[in-house]
């Protein structure tokens, strides 16, 4: 598992670097370095903590093979959104189309890190978290902490992370592209709740108790 974790980690670093700096045409794209820092440094820390304290959770997070046919399309669309977002951000910086002020970039970076902390808290609360939609053996409904406020706090955290990425990269054009992730995640949630209602005991009652999916008092 250690080799798999390190391989995926360094592959992610290389791919993101290529997607950002090749279109930018320069390694002076400091916003790109900022995003890579606030993304991969916390990721390495979280991976190390999971490796030591909860290797089973790390194994689940490394598994990205979706069993649900509907979710395979969601994963593909999400991947295309990310690739387009990063390439356009590099081009935006290179040709100075519409570059955000530095203070906006730094505010977005703070929001990104706060969302990362929220992400870490969700993983602490729910040891059943997986990268794929499935009902696991002996899985129970989690209804405490953040799960007592919204049914999908993980998606709340990741959506905040993804929407702040283009702003960290100083590219409002990329932000507009990334807004396409919202209907994608809504589709994923609908499918996931169908699977959980059918296979997870107590989930229907949980839905009646916790009304909001991802945003308190909104949706």
Most confident of 6-20, 48-62, 68-82, 154-168: 154-168
Mapped onto helix, strand or coil, the DSSP state of residue 97 is: coil
Residue range 185-199, pLDDT digits in tens:
998 888 888 888 887
**Structure tokens given for 146:** 């953040």
Distance CA 103, CA 113 (A): 16
Q: What integer pLDDT is reported at residue 120 of this predicted model? A: 85
Measure the CA–CA gap between 189 and 97, rounded to whole angstroms.
35
Rounded Cα distance, 194 and 102, in Å:
43
Q: What is the mean pLDDT of residues 117-139?
A: 71
pTM: 0.86
Q: In percent, how much of the chain has pLDDT > 90?
A: 47
User: What 3-state class would DSSP assign to 18?
Assistant: helix
Task: Kindly state the percentage of the chain with pLDDT values over 70.
Answer: 83
Q: How far is CA 140 from the centre of its chain?
A: 23
Closest CA relative to residue 214, chosen from 164, 159, 163, 151: 151
pLDDT digits (tens, 9 = 90+) for 139-186: 788 888 888 899 999 999 999 999 999 999 999 999 999 999 999 999
Q: Which residues are CB-neighbours of 49 under 8 A, at least 6 positions away?
A: none
Alpha-carbon distance of 38 to 55, in angstroms, equals: 23
Tokens of 80: 């295309």
Helix, strand, coil shares, percent, the chain, to 5: 75, 0, 25
């Amino acid at each position: 598992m250690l080799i798999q974790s390190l391989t995926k980690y360094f592959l992610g670093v290389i791919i993101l670097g290529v997607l950002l700096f090749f279109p930018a045409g320069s390694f002076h794209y400091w916003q790109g370095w900022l995003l890579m820092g606030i993304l991969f440094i916390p990721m390495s820390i979280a991976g190390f903590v999971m490796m030591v304290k909860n290797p089973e959770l790390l194994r689940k997070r490394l598994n990205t093979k979706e069993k649900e046919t509907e979710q395979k399309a969601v994963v593909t669309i999400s991947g295309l959104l990310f690739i387009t977002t990063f390439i356009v951000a590099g081009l935006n910086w290179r040709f100075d189309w519409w570059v955000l002020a530095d203070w906006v970039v730094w505010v977005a970076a703070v929001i990104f890190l706060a969302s990362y902390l929220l992400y870490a808290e969700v993983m602490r609360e729910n040891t059943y978290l997986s990268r794929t939609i499935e009902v696991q053996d002996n899985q129970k409904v989690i209804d405490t902490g953040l799960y007592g406020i919204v049914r999908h706090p993980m998606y709340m955290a990741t959506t905040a992370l993804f929407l702040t990425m283009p702003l960290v990269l100083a590219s409002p054009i990329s932000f507009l592209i990334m807004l396409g992730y919202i209907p994608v995640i809504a589709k994923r949630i609908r499918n996931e709740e169908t699977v959980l209602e059918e296979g997870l005991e107590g989930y229907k009652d949980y839905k009646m108790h916790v009304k909001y999916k991802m945003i308190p008092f909104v949706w």
